Amino acid sequence: MKNQIFKDANEKPRLFHWNGRIEREELINWFKIRKWNLTDEMIEFYCMTGGGEIFESETILGLYSDQVFGDDLESMNKYYRNKGMPINWLLFHIGIKNSALNMDTLEIIVFDSISFNIFNKYKTFSDWYINFIREEYKERYNLK
């Protein structure tokens, strides 16, 4: 996977703290049991990283992350669905704003965590990272 997030992680490793690799079959089965869809790009990302912390305040929720810290996919999706998040959204990122994958359209949605109003949509995980997350932090961390 030649993705900007991995280029940035190689350039500035202190800003990216991954949870750890996950075998593809294990990952696919984990999502299948929950009847959650992912894009191929997100499957590859999760296989390589398991999610984790990026920059100073962004969390890409992980499969096996700690519920106590609110870093895990399952409990955070349950929490936000109980607050009114649409069932077809898969929350995968919390931080300056929250992000979810619309499992019907496979678009990534950046939304308000209280009203669930959509701020922006991205066609791919790469577009989301480059045009939303990276855009917020590139100047602060002097990303090339």
The residue assigned the tokens 């959509």 is 118
Residue 66 banded pLDDT, cuts 50, 70, 90: low
pTM: 0.93
pLDDT of residue 69: 56
Contact 51, 60 (CB under 8 A): yes
Residue by residue, DSSP assigns 36-60 as ----HHHHHHHHHH--EEETTTEEE
Eight-class DSSP state of 104: T
pLDDT of residue 1: 44
Map out the domains of the chain with their CATH numbers.
Answer: 4-137 (3.40.1580.10)
Count CB neighbours of 136 within 10 A. 15
pLDDT of residue 144: 82
pLDDT of residue 3: 86
| Amino acid letter, residue 81 | R
Separation of alpha carbons 135 and 116, rounded Å = 22
Eight-class DSSP state of 64: S
Q: How many CA atoms lie within 13 A of 128 on its CB side?
A: 24
Separation of alpha carbons 105 and 117, rounded Å = 17
pLDDT of residue 54: 96
Element (H, E) at 121: strand 118-122
